C-alpha cells in the first residue's frame, strides 16, 4: 500500500504589497528587490490574522475537495515557524478544533521552510505503517508577525499564506487514487542554525526586559550564509532524491523548490546543468512563504494546467535549522 496526496488547496490573504509600496516605508526600490530576489509583490495577512486563520481556510478547502467526513481525519500536522502562540497550544490543535476534527490528534512541526517536505514524509510514514488513515497536513505562515522592519535585507523577502494536503492510502477511495508519495530525503545541518534565528524568547535566552531589545524576538538572518547553504542544499537534495528513485534529475518533469529567491534557483539549476524552466517559480507574486510555499506553488501548477497527471514532481525545501530535503511525487 502506498500513501498519496488526495487533495490540495491553498489560501493567501487578499492584501497585495508591491515592492514600490514597501519602498515607501523602507529604504529600498523595486529595481533592487527584483534584481536580487525575483520578487515583485507578496501577500500580507490583515491585522490580527494568524497562522491558524489562514490554515483553517486552506484545510477546509482540502477537506471539501476530497468530500472528507471531518470524523475520518486521524491527525493534523501543522508545519509553521509562525505559530499562533509561543509555543503552546499548538497551532495544529487550534486548527483541529476550528475544523471540528473530533477524532484527530494534532501537533506542530518545526522544520523552517522545509516544514512541508518533512510533513509529507511524516504523513507518508504514518499512513503506510498503518498508524493513521487520513492525515491533514497544513503549511501556514504569517511571517509578517516576526519581520524586523528595520532590516531592509530581510523585510523585503517574506509574505503570508497557507497550503494544505490530505494524505491517505492511495486505494482508500477507488474513484480517486491520488498522487503517490514515492520517496523523501530529509537532512539537517544544525551547525548553520545561527544564520537564521530568533535569538530570544526561548529557554536558551528567555526574554528579559532591559537585556533584550524587541528586535531579538524577530527573525534575523545572515543572507550570504543562507544563500550559499541554499544553493548547496538544492543540488544535494535533487541529486540524492533522483538517485533514490532510480532516475536522473533530467527524468523529472518538474522541480518545485521552496520559493525563496529566484537567484538561488538559477544558481542551483546552473550547477546541476538543468534548464531553469524545469523549476516552477511563483516567488515573483508571493515572495517567501516558508512552509506554505511548496503547496501554494503546487496548487497554482494544478489550477493553471502546468502540472499534469502522470508527471513526476520533485519538491525541494531548505531553511531555518538549517534543514533541507524534499519529496518525489507521482502526479
Ligand atoms: O528560506 C530561506 C530564507 N532566506 C533566503 O532565501 C535568503 C538568502 N539570501 C539572499 O537571498 C540574499 O543574501 C539577500 C537577497 C538577502 C541579499 O542579497 P545580497 O546580494 O547578498 O546583498 P548584501 O546583503 O550583500 O547587500 C548588498 C548591498 C548592501 O549595500 P552595501 O553595503 O554594498 O552598500 C546592502 O546594504 O545591498 C544593500 N541592501 C539593499 N539595498 C536596497 C540590502 N538590502 C537592500 C534592500 N534594498 N532591500
The full DSSP string for 254-284 is EEEE--S-HHHHHHHHHHHT--GGGB---HH
Tell me if 139 sits within 8 A of 79, measured CB to CB.
Answer: yes
- Distance separating alpha carbons of residues 128 and 285, to the nearest angstrom: 36
Are 164 and 137 contacting, i.e. CB atoms less than 8 angstroms apart? Answer: yes
- Architecture per CATH, domain 179-330, reads as 3-Layer(aba) Sandwich (3.40)
Q: Which CATH class is domain 3-169?
A: alpha beta
Q: Domain ranges in the chain?
A: 3-169, 179-330
- pLDDT at residue 258, rounded to an integer: 98
Q: What is the pLDDT along the chain (331 residues), one digit of tens a residue?
A: 899 999 999 999 999 999 999 999 999 999 999 999 999 999 999 999 999 999 999 999 999 999 999 999 999 999 999 999 998 999 999 999 999 999 999 999 999 999 999 999 999 999 999 999 999 999 999 999 999 999 999 999 999 999 999 999 987 555 567 899 999 999 999 999 999 999 999 999 999 988 999 999 999 999 999 999 999 999 999 999 999 999 999 999 999 999 999 999 999 999 999 999 999 999 999 999 999 999 999 999 999 999 999 999 999 999 999 999 999 999 9
CA 10 from centre of chain: 11
In the numeric block, the cell 508527471 is attached to 311
Q: How far is the CA of 232 from the centre of ligand 1 (A)?
A: 18
Structure confidence at residue 171 (pLDDT): 75
What pLDDT was estimated at residue 277?
97
Determine contact, residues 2/178, Cβ cutoff 8 Å: no
Looking at residue 170, its pLDDT comes to 87
Alpha-carbon span 120 to 125, nearest angstrom: 9
Among the atoms of ligand 1, which is closest to the Cα of residue 264?
A: 11
- The model scores a pTM over 0.85: yes
Q: Exactly one of 78, 148, 258, 327 is catalytic; which is it? A: 258
Residue 134 sits at φ, ψ, to 5 deg, of: -135, 125
For the chain, the farthest-separated pair of C-alpha atoms sits apart, in whole angstroms, at 61
The residue whose CA has the least distance to atom 1 of ligand 1 is 319
Catalytic site residue 258? yes
The whole-number pLDDT of residue 175 equals 53
Q: List pocket residues of ligand 1, CB cut-off 6 Å.
A: 28, 32-33, 36-37, 113, 152-153, 156, 221, 223-224, 226-227, 230, 260-261, 288, 319
* The ligand 1 atom nearest the CA atom of 260: 6
93 is a catalytic site residue: no
In which region does residue 89 sit, left (phi positive, over 0), alpha (psi from -120 to 50) or beta (all else)?
beta
Backbone angles phi and psi of 323, in degrees to 5: -120, 160
Element spanning 189, H or E? none
| Cis before 33 (ω within 30) | no
Three-state secondary structure call for residue 141: strand
Nearest to 307 by CA among 255, 265, 260: 255
194 vs 27, 188, 191, CA distance in Å?
A: 26, 13, 8
Backbone phi and psi for residue 82, each to the nearest 5 degrees, phi listed first: -130, 60
How many contiguous H segments (helices) and E segments (strands) does the chain have?
Answer: 10, 13
C-alpha grid cell, residue 118:
518533512
Domains 3-169 and 179-330 equal at CATH topology level: yes
**Ligand 1 site-directed mutation target among 25, 139, 153, 263, most atoms within 8 Å of CB:** 153
Amino acid at each position: 500500500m502506498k500513501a498519496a496526496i488526495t487533495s490540495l488547496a491553498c489560501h493567501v490573504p487578499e492584501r497585495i504589497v508591491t515592492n514600490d509600496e514597501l519602498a515607501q516605508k523602507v529604504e529600498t526600490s523595486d529595481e533592487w528587490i527584483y534584481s536580487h530576489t525575483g520578487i515583485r509583490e507578496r501577500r500580507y495577512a490583515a491585522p490580527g490574522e494568524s497562522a491558524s486563520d489562514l490554515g483553517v481556510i486552506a484545510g477546509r478547502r482540502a477537506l471539501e475537495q476530497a468530500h472528507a467526513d471531518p470524523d475520518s481525519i486521524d491527525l493534523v500536522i501543522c508545519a509553521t515557524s509562525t505559530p499562533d502562540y509561543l509555543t503552546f497550544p499548538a497551532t495544529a490543535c487550534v486548527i483541529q478544533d476550528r475544523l471540528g476534527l473530533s477524532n484527530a490528534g494534532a501537533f506542530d512541526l518545526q522544520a523552517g521552510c522545509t516544514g512541508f517536505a518533512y510533513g509529507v514524509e511524516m504523513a507518508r510514514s504514518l499512513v503506510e505503517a498503518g498508524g493513521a488513515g487520513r492525515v491533514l497536513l497544513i503549511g501556514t505562515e504569517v511571517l509578517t508577525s516576526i519581520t524586523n522592519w528595520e532590516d531592509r535585507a530581510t523585510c523585503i523577502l517574506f509574505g503570508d499564506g497557507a497550503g494544505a494536503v490530505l494524505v491517505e492510502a492511495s486505494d482508500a477511495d477507488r474513484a480517486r487514487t491520488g498522487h503517490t508519495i514515492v520517496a523523501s530525503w530529509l537532512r539537517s545541518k544544525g551547525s548553520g542554525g545561527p544564520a537564521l534565528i530568533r535569538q530570544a524568547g526561548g529557554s536558551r535566552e528567555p526574554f528579559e526586559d532591559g537585556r533584550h531589545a524587541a528586535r531579538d524576538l524577530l527573525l534575523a538572518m545572515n543572507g550570504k550564509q543562507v544563500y550559499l547553504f541554499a544553493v548547496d542544499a538544492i543540488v544535494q537534495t535533487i541529486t540524492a532524491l533522483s538517485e533514490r528513485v532510480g532516475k536522473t534529475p533530467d527524468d523529472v518533469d518538474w522541480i518545485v523548490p521552496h520559493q525563496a529567491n529566484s537567484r538561488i534557483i538559477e544558481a542551483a539549476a546552473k550547477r546541476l546543468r538543468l534548464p531553469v524552466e524545469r523549476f516552477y517559480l511563483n516567488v515573483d507574486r508571493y515572495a517567501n512563504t516558508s512552509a506554505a510555499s511548496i503547496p501554494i506553488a503546487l496548487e497554482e501548477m494544478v489550477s493553471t494546467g502546468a502540472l499534469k497527471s502522470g508527471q513526476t514532481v520533485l519538491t525541494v525545501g531548505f531553511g531555518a535549522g538549517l534543514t533541507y530535503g524534499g519529496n518525489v511525487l507521482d502526479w
